[in-house]
Structure 1
Amino acid sequence: MNDRGEADTSSLSDAEQSRLLDIARSSLKSGLSAGRPAEVDLETLPPRLREPRATFVTLEKNHNLRGCIGSLQPSRPLAADVAHNAFAAAFRDPRFPPLREDELPALEIHISILSPLEPLEFKSEEDLLRQLRPQVDGVLLADGFYQGTFLPSVWESLPDPHSFLRHLKLKAGLPADYWSDTIRAWRYTVEGIRGPAIAK
């Protein structure tokens, strides 16, 4: 586990990690040229890249967030999920304008491969806070129709569990001081892969 809450990526070889980065890069280029994600030929990929996995793709420009879109539950093969989310992070994140080609040289791609969601059992907000593992856990919080998640990397800017949870509630559309007996929470870890948007 590194200081960004990313698990050891030894489950994927260097070649497999590089292939996922290439797929993300291709999806950015396809979005710029054709307005759609890159098509992934699954038959040419190793088995682990064809397994259903949930991913997030985060784009950073000069170390600032430029887009982040992901999946919490596995619904597509790993490679296809990366292609879909890379395109969506670049062109469908409502917080940012669509990516321009002249931004590519300053862009870095971060791929987060999620572990299965682990439900947390707690009796109070303090009980939940005690269970959170700073720098390790990604957290999904939900209450009714309200839902939000923070990847483990968010601990870098919100290292205090109380502040982390308050901001997560805001992201979910809830007041920062909100609490209810119906709140549910899950945690997960991620395998992290990162590289420049233009291969060196």
Structure 2
Amino acid sequence: MTLPTDAGDLLLPIARSAVEARLAGTRTGQIPVADLAARGSRPDWLAGPGASFVTLEALGRLRGCIGTLTPHRPLGEDVAHNAIAAAFHDPRFDPLAEAEFDGVLIEVSVLSERTPLPYSSERSVSDALRPGVDGVVLEAGPFNRATFLPQVWDELPDPADFLLHLKRKAGLPDGWWSDDARFETYTVESWREGPDRR
């Protein structure tokens, strides 16, 4: 999917409005997308299938991050759904309280298609990764799966360390390795609210 450079001008308000609607007791976070369609201003790329992650940050710290790896619904709906999930259903955090909402900054990332990463060893995986560019998915059997967005490179710039923390996120021990593991990479286009968003 090709997105315009100003896609964030729609995606960020959709994410924020979805969380706001849920805090106000509205049943669904798809209202912002429906409003766009009713006004005849929903572009084709917003209605096409897309996979996104929505990240919430408060006081410089992660406050929630939930996303979709495989496109299975219109991008606008996916962003709204993931915004609500990040705010209220990320198991690492308590549900977002209304008093916190104004202090939250939102980032929306839209994922490219995933590409299998061939490898011959753990070292070959870390050598193939492009710091600052690649998001990575690790799958190890039916129960161990994790991903890091490319933004995680800001905190873990060393590929071996990046891979180590990805294994931990997947619930695997530090020394784990299996030739049956599956690795995929993807890139993202992302947009982030600034502190002066209002």
What TM-score, normalized by structure 2, do the two folds share?
Answer: 0.91
In structure 2, which of residues 112, 117, 128 is the aligned counterpart of residue 115 of structure 1? 112
Q: State the match for 1:18 in structure 2.
A: 9
In structure 1, which of residues 134, 142, 166 is the aligned counterpart of residue 164 of structure 2? 166
In structure 2, which of residues 131, 135, 143 is the aligned counterpart of residue 134 of structure 1? 131
Answer yes or no: is 1:38 the counterpart of 2:7.
no
1:30 CA drift (Å)? 1.4
Residue 167 of structure 1 aligns to which amino acid in structure 2?
H
In structure 2, which of residues 5, 16, 20 is the aligned counterpart of residue 29 of structure 1? 20
Q: Give me the identity figure in percent.
A: 50
Q: Cα deviation per residue 1:125-163 (whole Å; 9 max; x = unaligned)?
A: 111111000111100001102100000111111111111
* Contact kept in structure 1, 2:8 and 2:108, CA below 8 Å: no
Q: Which structure has more RCO (C-alpha within 8 Å, separation ≥ 6)?
A: 1
Q: State the match for 2:177 in structure 1.
A: 179
In structure 2, which of residues 46, 55, 62 is the aligned counterpart of residue 49 of structure 1? 46
* Contact kept in structure 2, 1:27 and 1:36, CA below 8 Å: no
1:11 CA drift (Å)? 2.9
Residue 152 of structure 1 aligns to which amino acid in structure 2?
P
Stretch deviating more after TM superposition (40-49 or 165-174): 40-49
1:104 CA drift (Å)? 1.8
Q: Cα deviation per residue 1:149-178 (whole Å; 9 max; x = unaligned)?
A: 000111111111111101100101111111
Residue 87 of structure 2 aligns to which amino acid in structure 1?
A
Q: Distance in 2 between matches of 1:156 and 1:197?
A: 19
User: Residue 114 and residue 120 in structure 1: after superposition, are their counterparts in 2 closer, same or farther (change >3 A)?
Assistant: same
Q: What RMSD in Å do the two structures reach over aligned CA positions? A: 1.7
Q: Distance in 1 between matches of 2:107 and 2:147?
A: 17
Matched pairs, number: 190
SS at match of 2:46: helix
Q: Cα deviation per residue 1:36-65 (whole Å; 9 max; x = unaligned)?
A: 442232634110111101000000001100
Q: State the match for 2:67 in structure 1.
A: 70
What TM-score, normalized by structure 1, do the two folds share?
Answer: 0.90
5+ residue gaps, structure 2: none
* Contact kept in structure 2, 1:60 and 1:109, CA below 8 Å: yes
